[in-house]
Amino acid sequence: MLAYFSHFVFLPWTKAIPQGEKGEEDATVHANKRSGSVSEECEHRALAGFKQLIVGDGVEIPLTMIYAGDYDATLLRFLRARKLNLEKSFAMLKESIEYRKSEKFDTVLLNPLSTEKMDILRKYSLGAHSGTDRQGRPIYFDRPGFLKVEAMLSEGATPEDFLYKHVQEMEYMGNVHLWSASLDAGHTIDQTVTIIDVTNISPSSLTKIVRDVFGRLTKIDQNNYPESLAASYIVNASWIFTVAYKVRQHLRRSPHTRRHAPWSARGSQRA
């Protein structure tokens, strides 16, 4: 579960999060590193080659994948996710398009869950978009500690319903929030900021089914919405959570544990 928080920035629980604070700017710079430092010239060359691959293979990118109507920015997100490797980026893009087709991502906003199931999901999974930061990026507030999967199941909702709702939120973010933010800013906004309230998260709350749901959610986001998160902030972290997080970060930086730890495998559990 801590993999979900692997690149987040901690903020004191007693401190509000004013826009434009120096701590926010520093954290954003840190969290906004895109798979290594590369020059605009390198990105420009990679983008040109990427477009040639797409045209040559006849790949059609759904309009719902193109944030704020910015085709180049969309392609750059996939390139940056694979460190400008054209073959890997192209494979990732095609896999995402196929996955979106199979899971009907492009029509998910037209086919909402029933009112009954949405009421259950809203009761046990608390999160919502609210406003923008100083850079104009939409802010999403999440409270994963209040996700009660077992209670959700007992009332008739399923993990698939929860993941469906998450995909709806991601598609709404890309097709509504980022469009609106881009219009307000006068330039493309293709990333969001997330604030995670980890109240109620403890070892006992991280049951197998909770870990499974978050693992599937993380995989969906990594494979289909790459480089769409500018910065994340953790608030209300208990000392146990903070210590566990720091230990995990230390292990991830160790060459030995990176080779043997389960989270290092293909990066499949990284946030």
What letter represents residue 51's amino acid?
Answer: K
Asked if 136 and 184 touch (Cβ cutoff 8 Å), the reply is: yes
Q: Indicate whether 50 pLDDT > 60.
A: yes
List, in sequence order, every residue forming a beta bridge with 94; answer none if it has no partner.
none
pLDDT tier at 101 (50, 70, 90 boundaries)? very high
- Give the separation between CA 63 and CA 70, rounded to whole angstroms: 10
pLDDT tier at 249 (50, 70, 90 boundaries)? low
CA distances in angstroms from 126 to 69, 88, 119, listed in the order given = 30, 35, 11
| Chosen CATH of 2-16+108-264 out of 3.40.525.10, 3.40.50.720, 2.10.109.10, 3.50.30.60 | 3.40.525.10
* Count of other CB atoms within 10 angstroms of residue 66: 17
- What's the start-to-end Cα distance of the chain, in Å? 10
Residue ranges per domain, the chain? 2-16+108-264
Out of 42-46, 145-149, 219-223, pick the least confident: 145-149
Query: What pLDDT, on the 0 to 100 scale, is given for residue 23?
Result: 41
3-state helix, strand, coil in the chain (%, to 5): 60, 10, 30
Q: What is the mean pLDDT of residues 197-210?
A: 82
Strand order of the β-sheet with 192-197 is: 9-10, 229-235, 192-197, 138-143, 126-132
Structure tokens at 29: 């710079």
Out of 57-61, 114-118, 141-145, 226-230, pick the least confident: 141-145
Q: What is the mean pLDDT of residues 121-139?
A: 91
Query: What pLDDT, on the 0 to 100 scale, is given for residue 257?
Result: 40
Q: Indicate whether 115 pLDDT > 90.
A: yes
pTM of this prediction?
Answer: 0.76
Query: What pLDDT, on the 0 to 100 scale, is given for residue 66?
Result: 96
Find, among 265, 271, 182, 261, the residue nearest to 225 by Cα: 271
- Give the separation between CA 205 and CA 216, rounded to whole angstroms: 17
